[in-house]
Amino acid sequence: MLRKAEPFKIKMVEPIKLISREERVRKLKEAGYNPFALRAEDIYIDLLTDSGTGAMSDRQWAAIMMGDESYAGSRSFYKLEEVVKRITGYKYILPVHQGRGAEQVIFPNIIKNKGDYVLNNMHFDTTKAHVEIAKGRAINLIDEKAFNTDKYDDFKGNFDLDKLERFIEEHGVEKIVGIVITVTCNSSGGEPVSMGNIKGVRRIANKYGIKVFFDSARYAENAYFIKQREEGYNNKTILEIAKEMFSYGDGMMMSCKKDGIVNIGGIIAIKDDQELYTNCQSSMVPLEGFPTYGGMAGRDMEALAVGLEEALNEEYLEYRIEQVKYLGDKLMDAGVPIQYPTGGHAVFVDCKKICPHIPYYQYPAQAVCNAVYLAGGIRAVEIGSLLLGRDPDTGTNIESPLELMRLTIPRRVYTNRHMDVVADAVIEVFNDRDKLIGLEFDYEPKVLRHFTARLKPIKI
Ligand code: F0G
């Protein structure tokens, strides 16, 4: 069969360069063994995140010129609103500056009392932080199969529906203010949630009268997996699948820096709850901005309106998901343990398996990330016990069920040749894994510590 290439050609380039190994050793030390603190120009291939790092299309750049920068009632807002309404079927649309902007507006409006629960398949870190800032409790109820990294499953982002119902019964429905479905489930590997599971969540929510929200940063990638893997969806368009999915929710938050293919932007959309909408509208003014711009420039809303459409294109999604799989396959062929199958936006390397000699409180995945930077100038990110932080009640270090290195692939930025280079570096580290050593803190921030922590290799 004829192989398919990236479904675009490159019109503008941004040079990158690999600094010497000696320089990388020095830079990493200066960065406190935390790749977040590296300067981007000291990185060869940057797989820190797929968030806001995508390449916009010529159509998006053209749309930028059409931005209406009116403070109130901008034409660009109405264009964006029309697109979001068409995709979600929801009535009320509010733009925000990015995903966490949506979180800081929504959660204080649904969490009424200290200790109220928000249930999620798996909270993203800022989502959990905003639940906790609003004095709520963030509970993850993902199906355990997500933690079995080497065992194939079509939908490793699914809720454990029994656990979900049991939690509601045990803690009392009056304490549960919402269920959030994160599609795809970033923290378990960018793994998809099936439509069947989404319907199951809706059924339980209806039974108890609980609201359902989507954390829809990567909803188009999720829809593509549903089309590929779930019976009854193969002949539907991605838009049809997305619309059906949103029909089972009461609202959504979206970081548009992912499946909006823009460098900044976010959305809150609410199905029909007018009270929630007006509450969000008034709280967003001091936090984000007037409700027709919410932290975005008119030109950003124009680019987003186009990007949301482009992300629903099936050829694009096929290329996107295949590129992630391409890197995953190369690593698996060399014996590197990864979350299998690969999800939508990243390859997650199972570092608990790579360095069983490093305990969770010495951050094995961070050790692997650092080694990959030294090997190839590649920046990856730790998704494990460093990120998870401490128990808010007891202050003890929490052990993450998974210690992952995320190789996150920006949209439309790197070619498969870049992926080959990434694979070479990771395989080199894997083959030398016995030499990896754990890390301890030089400085530990109180909140979201992984972003600004300074570490050092433990003395042995
Ligand atoms: N929800 C999910 C599922 C996310 O992955 C992110 C961000 C957010 C919410 C917050 O959105 O960054 O626009 O404020 N994820 C990025 C990442 C940062 O690297 O995975 P944001």
Average pLDDT over all residues of the chain? 97
Q: Which atom of ligand 1 is nearest to the CA of 257?
A: 13
| pLDDT given at position 339 | 96
Is this model's pTM higher than 0.85 or not?
yes
| pLDDT given at position 332 | 98
Label residue 2 by pLDDT band (50, 70, 90). Answer: confident
Ligand 1 binding pocket includes 266 (Cβ within 6 Å): yes
Residue-wise pLDDT tens digits, 63-82: 999 999 999 999 999 999 99
Q: What percent of the chain has pLDDT over 70?
A: 100
Contact 419, 327 (CB under 8 A): yes
| pLDDT given at position 448 | 82
pLDDT at 459 over 90: no
pLDDT at 156 over 90: yes
| pLDDT given at position 5 | 93
CA pair distance 287, 308, nearest whole angstrom: 24
Selected residue with higher pLDDT from 123 and 2: 123
Nearest residue CA, atom 1 of ligand 1? 124
3-state secondary structure of 281: helix
pLDDT at 446 over 90: no
Contact 269, 110 (CB under 8 A): no
pLDDT at 392 over 90: no
Phi, psi dihedral angles at 224 (to 5 degrees): -65, -40
Please identify, in words, the CATH class of the domain defined by 21-50+313-457: alpha beta
Nearest residue CA, atom 8 of ligand 1? 99
Contact 330, 323 (CB under 8 A): no
Domain 58-310 architecture:
3-Layer(aba) Sandwich (3.40)
Ligand 1 pocket test, pick from 122, 183, 186 with the greatest ligand atom count within 8 Å of Cβ, gives: 186
Q: Which residues, other chains included, contact 395 with Cβ-Cβ below 8 Å and sequence gap of 6+?
A: none
Neighbouring C-alpha atoms within 13 Å toward the C-beta of 365: 28
Q: What percent of the chain has pLDDT over 90?
A: 95
For residue 365, indicate whether it is catalytic: no
Nearest residue CA, atom 20 of ligand 1? 49
DSSP string for 36-93: GGS-GGG-SEE-S-SSS-PPPPHHHHHHHTT----SSS-HHHHHHHHHHHHHH--SEE
Angle at 258 between CA 253 and CA 259, to 5 degrees: 80
CA pair distance 447, 384, nearest whole angstrom: 15
| pLDDT given at position 161 | 98
Residue-wise pLDDT tens digits, 326-385: 999 999 999 999 999 999 999 999 999 999 999 999 999 999 999 999 999 999 999 999
Judged by average pLDDT, the poorest of 1-5, 178-182, 352-356 is 1-5
For residue 258, indicate whether it is catalytic: yes
Joined tokens for residue 186:
């970033």
Joined tokens for residue 64:
């930028």
For residue 430, indicate whether it is catalytic: no
For residue 171, indicate whether it is catalytic: no
Contact 302, 325 (CB under 8 A): no
Q: What is the CA radius of gyration of the chain?
A: 21
All structural domains of the chain with their residue ranges: 21-50+313-457, 58-310
pLDDT at 273 over 90: yes
Residue-wise pLDDT tens digits, 289-329: 999 999 999 999 999 999 999 999 999 999 999 999 999 99
pLDDT at 460 over 80: no
Residue 324 burial class via C-beta count within 10 angstroms: exposed 0-12, middle 13-18, buried 19 and up: buried
Residue-wise pLDDT tens digits, 183-237: 999 988 999 999 999 999 999 999 999 999 999 999 999 999 999 999 999 999 9
State the amino acid at position 344 in one-letter form. G
| pLDDT given at position 393 | 83
CA pair distance 353, 370, nearest whole angstrom: 17
| pLDDT given at position 70 | 97
Q: Which atom of ligand 1 is nearest to the CA of 50?
A: 19
For residue 345, indicate whether it is catalytic: no
| Alpha helices per DSSP H over 291-396 | 298-310, 314-333, 351-354, 364-376, 385-388
Contact 255, 99 (CB under 8 A): yes
Residue-wise pLDDT tens digits, 134-155: 999 999 999 999 999 999 999 9
Ligand 1 binding pocket includes 255 (Cβ within 6 Å): yes
Contact 131, 107 (CB under 8 A): yes
For residue 215, indicate whether it is catalytic: yes
3-state secondary structure of 94: strand
CA pair distance 17, 41, nearest whole angstrom: 8
Residue-wise pLDDT tens digits, 18-47: 999 999 999 999 999 999 999 999 999 999
pLDDT at 91 over 90: yes
CA pair distance 420, 270, nearest whole angstrom: 42
pLDDT at 248 over 80: yes
